[in-house]
Structure 1
């Protein structure tokens, strides 16, 4: 049956996320509770030097030394889902993010409708350290949609069918942009994507992110681009 899913694997890469990781895992636990199929949450601790490992008690943990978010996501899926097929749904989020309770159940609804990729949306949790103008610029740009949907690709809010993922070789070892690279290759291979506004996470707005040219850099750039007042 097209779109039938009987297993879910969620991969969460983390590098020195001791402070935010408990909230991430608690939110995932609430999302998992909405499903009636087995779910494996695979945490990938990548070169952590803080206490991230000490806050984990209920999920599978893989420790690596990649110092690379694309490689960490890849290792997570290789470890947890190497034998998975078209009846398995893969999802990934970030350790500084909190998924909504319907985050996984909504993805499976899209899967049952025949979508191989689900691209969700991201909201910022708190804007501490950023100006009100930066927030307005971000929210205005983010609400601007194309004819096919919102068009945003975030590793923090992404899902895909396992066979479609393996069919294009999975995540590449990119320090940034690994999410966009993966989806572009999946679409080139014929995958059908849902630009899902009901698959949402909230994430941190910290000024110094883990990935170069990632979300934190995007927010800093918006701040640099703010119009300057003339005195």
Structure 2
């Protein structure tokens, strides 16, 4: 079925989905991630392929994936390279009718994660940037939590304005046209969205597309979400000094 975006541009409705998850030493949290992804995949009526990329793993993450999960391995712990490898492995040759999505191994998508992305795609979205919720703030101070939540809810122009690799979806042709993920140790998500929108991709800031992520302050990417949470704690300590 062909659908129209406002402005008259026609885009095909996705007929399959590829989800890529980079994994770096996430043996403890990966089972929760995969359970959530399977539940979300069961809520859509089209085929879903879940592609794990083990990047620099030295733990037992490889043993967590079941027979329904595709796995590729990367020796280097580089999240941008891992996401890129995952889409190259699972989505090579995919075009306009394939929807790509990505999340993180320390995160859990909600049941309607994929279903709501597809709804935005049917309305003409090329990229869907969702929101994240922190599952456990015990590693941080109450002041850091309050500061994070206040800043996160602050309006960013016409939408929430946050790009998270843990909660991102896009059309396969939009992804390939932008050049895919670069081999960046951090910020690969923002970099991709900036390149895609510069080429005219239609971005939707989707507050109804939700992922719950770890509140840990020691993460895998050098300047990723955990580093952001840690920085808020440091600001809190400075304020109270």
Tell me which interval the TM-score lies in, with the shorter structure as reference length: over 0.9
Distance 2:203 2:85 in 1: 24
The answer on whether the counterparts of 1:164 and 1:191 sit within 8 Å (CA) in structure 2 is yes
1:213 is matched with which residue: 212, 220, 223? 223
The answer on whether the counterparts of 1:21 and 1:52 sit within 8 Å (CA) in structure 2 is yes
1:27 is matched with which residue? 36
1:104 and 2:114 are equivalent in the alignment: yes
The count of corresponding residues between Structure 1 and Structure 2 is 230
1:39 is matched with which residue: 45, 48, 54? 48
Distance 1:11 1:5 in 2: 17
**Structure 1: 5+ residue stretches without partners:** none
Distance 2:221 2:156 in 1: 27
1:141 and 2:151 are equivalent in the alignment: yes
1:173 is matched with which residue? 183
> Scaled by the length of structure 2, what TM-score is found?
0.94
Distance 1:147 1:180 in 2: 17
Q: Give the secondary structure class of the aligned counterpart of 1:225.
A: helix
Aligned-residue RMSD, C-alpha: 0.9
1:192 is matched with which residue: 202, 213, 230? 202
Distance 2:28 2:127 in 1: 31
The answer on whether the counterparts of 1:3 and 1:115 sit within 8 Å (CA) in structure 2 is no
> How far apart are 1:128 and its partner, in Å?
1.5
* Structure 1 segments (4+ residues) deviating >4 Å: none
